[in-house]
Amino acid sequence: MMRVWLPTIRAGTGADVFTERLAAALRARDIEVDITWFPAWYEFLPELMRLHRVPEGTDVIHANGWLALPFVGRGIPVVATVLHLVHDPAYAPHRSFGQTLYHRWHIRWREQRALQGSQAVTAISAYVAGTVRSFCGHANVLAIPNWVDTTRYVPDPGYVPDPARPFRLLMVGNHSRRKGFDLLPGLAVALGPRFALRCTGGLRGVSVATMPGVHMLGRLTEDELVREYQHCDAVISLSRYEGFGYTALEGMACGKPVVAFQTSAVTEVVDDGVTGLLVSVDDVPSFAARCRQLESDRGLARLMGIAGRQRAIEVFGEAAAIGAYLRVYAGLVGWPLISGE
C-alpha cells in the first residue's frame, strides 16, 4: 500500500482546506496518509521542519510550494503543489510593503530551489502553472484543478427563495484587500436595501455600522458554510487575484450563480454568461448591475445555478483530480496505476 506524507504549516487559509481535502480523498482510495501540522511560526524558520522524522514507510512527500524545500534531497520523491505564486507580477499590487520584502528575501529563493529540486511540480490551475513556468523555468508543471465534494456541497431541494425579502448575496473569504473586502461598503451602497450581503470572517453576528445591509457571519464550520451557500440567492467574489477560486466552485456546487471579477484563475472556474457573470476588476458599478440583473431575473439565476452545479460535477470532480495525483505518485515510485483511476 502506498504511503504519502503531507507536512504543512497550519495557516488558517485555503492551503489548509486543500491539504485536508487531499488527505480525505486519498484515504478514501486506501492510500495511507500522514499529515503533520507545524505551527504557524515555522514559516519563519522552515528549515526546522527538516529535523522532523519522516513517517516510517513513506513513499512520497507532498508539500505546498516553497515549504517543500526542507524535504528535498532526503531520498524520498517530493511533489510540490503551488496554490498561488506570490512572485507573480500580477499579485504585486495586492500586498503590503512588508509582505513584498518578506516574499522577496525570505520566500523567493526557497521557492525557486524547492520547485527546481522537487521530482514533480503541480499547480491548482492552468493560470498558476503558467506563473510557475515563468518563475523558475520548470517546463513540466502539471495543472490539476481543485475539486469540491459534490455529495456534501449540494443544493437544498427544500429551499424556496422568498421574493418578499431582500436578494441574499454571500461573500466568503478573509477580510484582505486582495479579497476585495475594501470594496464591500461601496457595493452595499450601490445595491441598496433590496439586497442583503452576508460575509464570512471577522466577528460572528456583528453588523458593521459603515456597511448597512452587510451582516458579518464570523468563522463558520463547514456544515454552517454549506448551509449559507444553500440559502443564499447568489455567491459573489470581489477577489482581485485568485490561484483558483474555491468560493465560486463551492457556490456552483450548491446550485448558485456567481458574480465575480474577471481575473487570474477565476475565469477557469466560472463560465461567464453560463454559470455566472464576470466584470472587470474594481468595476463596482458594473458588479452591482450584474447583481441587480440576477435579482430582477430569477429564472436566469436559477438556470445559471443549474449549469454551475453541472460544471462543478463534470469539470471539477474529485475523481479526476485525485486520479491525476495518484498517477504522479505512481510515476515517481514505479507503482502500477490503481484500478479505476
Residue 54: pLDDT over 90: yes
Residue 203: pLDDT over 70: no
- 90 and 174 part of one domain: no
- Please check whether residue 131 lies inside any domain of the structure: yes
- 235 and 181 part of one domain: yes
- Please check whether residue 211 lies inside any domain of the structure: yes
pLDDT in tens, 96-112: 899 999 999 999 999 99
Query: How far is the C-alpha of 240 from the C-alpha of 179, rounded, in Å?
Result: 6
The CATH number given to whatever domain includes residue 57 is 3.40.50.2000
- % of the chain at pLDDT higher than 70: 95
Contact 276, 301 (CB under 8 A): no
Q: What is the span of the domain harbouring residue 107?
A: 3-147+317-333
- Please check whether residue 174 lies inside any domain of the structure: yes
The mean predicted confidence, pLDDT, of the chain is: 92
Domains identified in the chain, total number = 2
- 123 and 211 part of one domain: no
Query: How far is the C-alpha of 307 from the C-alpha of 278, rounded, in Å?
Result: 15
- 211 and 328 part of one domain: no
pLDDT in tens, 101-158: 999 999 999 999 999 999 999 999 999 999 999 998 777 899 999 999 999 999 999 9
- 308 and 173 part of one domain: yes
- 192 and 308 part of one domain: yes
**DSSP per-residue letters across 87-110:** T-GGGGGGS-HHHHHHIIIIIHHH
- 238 and 327 part of one domain: no
Q: Is the pTM of this model over 0.85?
A: yes
Mean pLDDT of 250-269: 97
- 294 and 324 part of one domain: no
Grid coordinates belonging to 185: 461598503
In single-letter form, the type of residue at position 1 comes to M
- Please check whether residue 339 lies inside any domain of the structure: no
Query: How far is the C-alpha of 107 from the C-alpha of 192, rounded, in Å?
Result: 43
- 93 and 228 part of one domain: no
pLDDT in tens, 303-331: 999 999 999 999 999 999 999 999 999 99
- Please check whether residue 341 lies inside any domain of the structure: no
- Please check whether residue 159 lies inside any domain of the structure: no
